[in-house]
Amino acid sequence: MPLIVQKFGGTSVADTQKILGAARKAIRAAQSGNHVVVVVSAMGKTTDHLVSLAKEITDRPSHREMDMLLSSGEQVTIALMAMALESLGYKAVSMTGAQIGIKTDSSHTKARIRSISTNRMKNALDAGHIVIAAGFQGIDDDGNITTLGRGGSDTSAVALAAALNADQCEIYTDVDGVYTTDPRLLPEARKVTQISYDEMLELASLGAGVMHSRSIEFAKKFGVTVHVRSSFTDTAGSLIVASPESNSPVAGAAIAKNEARLTLVGVPDKPGNAMRLFARIAEAKIATDMIVQNIGQEGRTDISFTVPGNDLTATLDVLKTVSKEIEAKQVDYQENVAKVSVVGLGMETQGGVAEKMFRAVSRKMINISMITTSEIKISTLVTCDDALETLRAVHAEFQLEKSPTPFNSSSNSPKPSVSPNPAELSGTLPPTQQNQTKPIKPELDVARLSGMEDILIEAIHLDQTQARITMPNVPDKPGIAAEMFERIAEAGIVVDMIVQSCGRNGKAIITYTIPRTMLETALEITRKLANEWESDEPLYSSTVAILSVRGTGLRSHTGLAYRMFKTLADAGINVNVISTSESNISITVNSTQGEQGLQLFKKEFANEMM
């Protein structure tokens, strides 16, 4: 019998009437001939309320007790949902994370799923029950209750769909699909019919709260097609799939409002320092983003990065010790900054996105204080006050409110999806049609993975075709990056990585990489600009090697970047520009050390290779 996993988020089970409504959806799926597993979140704002209760008692509650507390929210919902189903004449059984057999590691409040045993669920389904599973929670080897991190019920649902080899995974929420940006912030946002795993993963980790980013890691790894749709209507939602049907360069924009920027100023520029810094932060399980290391001047360099605002205190604690260890001159930080990003698979093949984005922001006279890019995203850091206007400007610039042009099979864009027409997904499909929605699973030897949520590395790559230019001391004011990358683009040069450091003393530093063959032309343009802006002579390296690791779970596994840095540091290889995304981490080093770095990475990551 086909199996369907349905997840209902907090708003969708906020009161008993809504729980009954969700129960009716589950019943409809059962009546259509499916086994049904329902995953639920805590009711409404219950989890927030529990967090504030803890805060009334202590600023630093033990993480174990937080998990004990927070997991209670989902336990209430599963019982009520089972009662709702029984009251409507259906057999149902509720199960906590432990009863399902969701085994996690012991990182309380941020636990990762190691394995799921499906026997008990399967027995209950075979006995004709609808299974109601508590989202967000699991159990560690010592029997302690753990939680997966805020928003983690999505991850429970997709992980269960993967473990049960479900035919459908539906995420019911308070919006009717995935939009080009948060529709509550920009009403002009457009619902997308399909989006790729890579784009959704990136958007989710950059602030699109509609899906927990780790749920998309599962979906991608195990080939689960996810259907995001409304709890309150029957309209078709959005499908998250391997290869979507559109080929526009930008799929969506995201905003992360509550971010903090930290800078270690005057770090001695030698191998191992970046490693030590990120090792300590990784140990504290803090996910960093927008890492920018300036090209060293006078033997010292500044390293900046962003963390979620909630992690600021913990990060400052870490930096207090580490800045002494690596003899940094000072720690500088800024709260209330926001990250506005655009994401799109098409960026890999179509240029022009960066300069368009920077120009859209500069037209609003908004200053971008940091920039980082990866192959499928561009992130800018602005003040919280400017964030919404930045998002609006960028969304309009890429005309995200309009439907993209249909997929053209003669272009070199991603292949068409194997998923069905989303229009067919309206309501619950009869079993025969449901089989069509079964995704084609990637060739993945799941048994080889020691843990379901472990990092999976697809490729390690060395690019020896690039050169690097650094422009120190450019004015830290609106329009600088736009001007620079427009001129470079006008000369037909395709820029790969871009990083701009946060301005200090009214000056910023911009570094970018380009094909070596274009170095002379790019230098000429950059020198002209340096002249106009009265900034310093550009620095360059005609021979940089870019080492990249591609895979799934790279950023949420905070230790990976650290292992890359450590591997290079142990071999005395100095790191220059760093670019991180969910599915790719690239590091530039001196090209004479590129081949050595590649071999070292292949050895270091041999166990995690697909």
Using alpha carbons only, give the angle 202, 456, 370 rounded to the nearest 5 degrees: 35
Considering CB distances under 5 to 8 angstroms, the limit depending on partner class, which of Mg ion, ligand ADP, ligand ASP, none binds residue 135? ligand ASP
The Cα 60–Cα 52 span in angstroms is 12
Task: Decide whether 390 or 473 has the Cβ nearer to ligand ADP.
Answer: 390
| Minimum gap (Å) between residue 28 Cβ and ligand ADP | 19
| Minimum gap (Å) between residue 234 Cβ and ligand ADP | 17
**Interface residues with ligand ADP (CB under 6 A)?**
9-12, 41, 151, 173-175, 178-179, 181-184, 208-210, 252
Considering CB distances under 5 to 8 angstroms, the limit depending on partner class, which of Mg ion, ligand ADP, ligand ASP, none binds residue 179? ligand ADP
Binding mask 4-43 for Mg ion (x = CB under 5 A): -----x----------------------------------
| Minimum gap (Å) between residue 11 Cβ and Mg ion | 9
Number of residues this chain uses to bind Mg ion (CB under 5 A): 2
| Minimum gap (Å) between residue 166 Cβ and ligand ASP | 18
| Minimum gap (Å) between residue 151 Cβ and ligand ASP | 5
End-to-end CA, the chain: 31
Task: Decide whether 186 or 277 has the Cβ nearer to ligand ADP.
Answer: 186
What DSSP assignment string belongs to 60-120?
A: S--HHHHHHHHHHHHHHHHHHHHHHHHHTT--EEEE-HHHHTEEE-S-TTS--EEEE--HH
Task: Decide whether 172 or 305 has the Cβ nearer to ligand ADP.
Answer: 172
| Minimum gap (Å) between residue 111 Cβ and ligand ASP | 12
The Cα 248–Cα 348 span in angstroms is 11
Helix (H, G, I), strand (E, B) or coil at 566: helix
Classify residue 15 by burial, with Cβ atoms within 10 Å: 0-12, 13-18, 19+: exposed
Q: Which residues of 71-93 are buried (b: 16+ CB within 10 A; e: fewer)?
A: bbbbbebbebbbbbbeeeebebb
Tell me the residue type at 549. Answer: V
Using alpha carbons only, give the angle 348, 253, 409 rounded to the nearest 5 degrees: 40
Task: Decide whether 111 or 481 has the Cβ nearer to ligand ASP.
Answer: 111
CA dihedral 118, 119, 120, 121 (to 10 degrees): 50
| Minimum gap (Å) between residue 150 Cβ and ligand ASP | 4
The Cα 534–Cα 536 span in angstroms is 7
Task: Decide whether 182 or 476 has the Cβ nearer to ligand ADP.
Answer: 182
| Minimum gap (Å) between residue 73 Cβ and ligand ASP | 5
The Cα 238–Cα 252 span in angstroms is 13
* Angstrom distances, CA of residue 577 to CA of 135, 265, 302, 513, 586: 39, 16, 12, 9, 8
User: CA 135, 52, 288, 175 torsion: positive or negative?
Assistant: positive
Task: Decide whether 211 or 318 has the Cβ nearer to ligand ADP.
Answer: 211
Task: Decide whether 50 or 314 has the Cβ nearer to ligand ASP.
Answer: 50
**Interface residues with ligand ASP (CB under 6 A)?**
9-10, 41-42, 47, 73, 135-136, 150-153
Task: Decide whether 14 or 224 has the Cβ nearer to ligand ASP.
Answer: 14
Considering CB distances under 5 to 8 angstroms, the limit depending on partner class, which of ligand ASP, ligand ADP, Mg ion, none binds residue 47? ligand ASP
Task: Find all residues with CB under 8 Å of 494, minimum gap 6, and list them.
Answer: 351, 514, 515
Angle between helices 519-533 and 480-490 (to 10 degrees): 150
Extract the tokens encoding 548.
Answer: 């990249």
Task: Decide whether 183 or 268 has the Cβ nearer to ligand ADP.
Answer: 183
Binding residue for Mg ion, selected from 151, 237, 266, 344, defined by CB under 5 A: 151
Considering CB distances under 5 to 8 angstroms, the limit depending on partner class, which of ligand ASP, ligand ADP, Mg ion, none binds residue 218? none
Considering CB distances under 5 to 8 angstroms, the limit depending on partner class, which of ligand ADP, ligand ASP, Mg ion, none binds residue 175? ligand ADP
Considering CB distances under 5 to 8 angstroms, the limit depending on partner class, which of Mg ion, ligand ASP, ligand ADP, none binds residue 136? ligand ASP
| Minimum gap (Å) between residue 38 Cβ and ligand ASP | 14
Phi, psi angle pair for 33, to nearest 5°: 95, 30
Contact 434, 34 (CB under 8 A): yes
Task: Decide whether 207 or 479 has the Cβ nearer to ligand ADP.
Answer: 207
For Mg ion, the binding residues (CB under 5 A) are 9, 151
